[in-house]
Amino acid sequence: MAEPDSDAAPWWRGAVIYQIYPRSFLDSNGDGIGDLAGITSKLDYVASLGVDAIWLSPFFASPMKDFGYDVSDYRAVDPIFGTLEEFDRLVTRAHELDLRVIIDQVYAHTSDAHAWFQESRSDRLNDKSDWYVWADPTPDGTPPNNWLAVFYGPCWTWDGRRGQYYLHNFLPSQPNLNVHNPAVQKALFDTARFWLRRGVDGFRLDAINFAMHDRSLADNPPVMVTNAVFNRPFDFQHHLHNQSQPELVPFIEKLAKVMREFGPDRFTVAEVGGEQALAEMKLYTEGQVRLNTSYSFDFLYVAQLSPKLVLNALSKWPGGKDEGWPSWAFSNHDAPRVVTRWGGPQAGASCAKMLLTLLMCLRGNVFLYQGEELGLAQADIPFERLRDPEAIANWPATLGRDGARTPMPWENKLPYAGFSDAEPWLPIPSGHIAAAVSEQDGEADSVLAIARELIALRRSSPLLRAGSFQPLDLPPPLLGFDRGGETGVLRCLFNLTDKIQDCALLASGKLLFAIGPVDLDKKSLGGLTACILEMPQE
C-alpha cells in the first residue's frame, strides 16, 4: 500500500476544491445573473466551509451560446460578470482568506465571435488561416469525414468565405482551434501567463482531450453494439480521430513548464471524458513534468450508487510509481445533482450527509459543487424556462444541465432566496429555498454543519487527505475501505440503503465520526449511515 505524503506534500494533494458557477452564485447588481462582485461578497462563507480552493467556471467575454465555454476573448471578463478590476479584487480577497483560486481555461475551441476566428475565416492566406481546423469538401460537397459533434450532428460546418468546412466538436459556434499549430500554442501559453500574473493559482483545463485532432481526417469507426439505444448521434462512434491524439502529451508538458515558471504551487487539473478517459488521465498526469491531476467522470453520470462502483473507480488509482493523482466529484454544472440521481426524488438530508461523508473519505482531490454542502436536489425546469442548448436540442431524451445550475439559495425570507433583487436567469425551486444557507447556518445537525465538520476532519487528517486506499470485503449494500499510513488506519464504513444492516467490522475501533445510528455493541449500521473508525495499532 502506498504511504501518505510527507509534510512537504503540495497543497493540492488531497485538497477540497469548491466549484462556483458564477451565473448562479450571487447577483450584486440586480440583473438576475450572478457576477464576480457577488462571489467576492460571499467568500467569507466559502472560507467558513474549510475548503482549500475555489474553482470558477468561465467568466470570460462570450456570446454565451454555451454559457461561457464559447470564449470570444481569453483575456477579458464578460460585462455581465464585471471587470478585470473586480476579478483582481476577488483574487485578493480569496488569498486573504487562505483560499486558492482556480479558473477554467478552454483551449480546445473558441467562440466563432473570437477575433482569431474572424480573421481565420476571411480567406485562406491570412496570418491566422491555419489557427483553426479547415478542410475541403469531398467531391460531392459533403463534409470531409464522418465525425460527429457532442451536442448535435456533424462536426463540420460549411463557411462560404473560405469555401471550406471548419471543425467543431461541440456547437457550430465553437470552432476547434488547431492546437497542432505552434503559433496557436504560443498564444494559449501567453493567455495562461496573463492570468497567472494576476495571481491565479491554477487551471482546470476544459475538454483538453478534444484539443487535437488526427490530421489525416480518418473516419471514426462505428460502435457495433446490438440493440443499443443512443440518445445522441455522437454516441454511435468510437471517437478515435477527432480527439485524444498522442501529440497532446508534448503540448501538456509545455503547458506544465509554463506553470512552473510561476512556482511549484501552481495547480493543473485536466477534464478528460470519453471511452478512453482512464488511459488519457493517467497519461496526462504521469510523472513530474505533466499535469497535477485529472477530473474523473466515474461518478458524475452514473444513475445508481453501489459498492462495486466506488471500489472499481478507486482501484484504478492504486498509487504506483509515477502514477498521477485522481480528482473526484459527485456533482457539477453539467451533471444532475447527486442527491436526486442516487437518492431519488424524495431523498433528504440523511442521504446528502452520507454522500458527503463518502466523498470526503475518498483518496484523491475532492471537488464540491456549490449547493452540494446544502444537500440541494436536482431542479425540475419546465421546457419554456430551459436555457441549455443541449437540453433544448434533445428534449425530452436528455433533460440537460439547467437543473444543476439554478441559483444558490442564501436567505429563505428574501425575494429569490437572496440571490438577486430581480428575477433570476433560472428559477429557484421551493425546496432549495427551504434549504437556504440562512436555514442551515448555526444548526448543529444540518447538512451544512456536517459538511463543515467533514471538511475540517479531512483537512486535519493526513490519512484521509493522502493515505492509502484498501477495499474491505463486505456484502452489498455495505461499502467499506481503509485509509492507511504510518500513523495508523481509519476505517470508513457505509450503509447505502435505508434498511438496517449488520456489519461485523464494527467489532473493533474507536468511533471518530458518524452519520446516522451506529451500534458498536450490536454491530449494526442504520439506514443511510456512514462512520469512520480509528483502528488500533497492530
Evaluate whether 437 touches 457 at the Cβ level (below 8 Å): no
Catalytic residue (one of 206, 214, 388, 390)? 206
Q: Can you read off the three cell numbers belonging to residue 190?
A: 501567453
Entry field: residues in the chain: 538
Q: Which alpha helices (DSSP H) does 330-489 contain, by range?
A: 338-343, 349-361, 389-394, 430-434, 437-440, 447-460, 462-466
* Torsion angle defined by CA atoms of residues 359, 363, 367 and 368, in that order, rounded to the nearest 10 degrees: 20
- CA-to-CA distance for 481 and 474, rounded, in angstroms? 9
- Pull the grid cell for residue 79: 460585462
Query: Is 298 a catalytic site residue?
Result: no
Residue linked to cell 458498536: 520
Query: Is 261 designated active site?
Result: yes
In sequence order, the 6+-apart residues with CB closer than 8 A to the CB of 272 are 208, 209, 280, 281, 284, 294, 295, 297
Please, are residues 100 and 201 in contact by the beta-carbon 8 Å criterion?
yes
- Check 44, 85, 96, 261 and give the catalytic one: 261
C-alpha cell at 121: 475565416
In degrees and rounded to multiples of 5, residue 390 shows phi and psi of -65, -45
**Of the candidates 452, 486, 481, which has an alpha carbon nearest to the alpha carbon of residue 7?**
486
Residues designated as active site: 206, 261
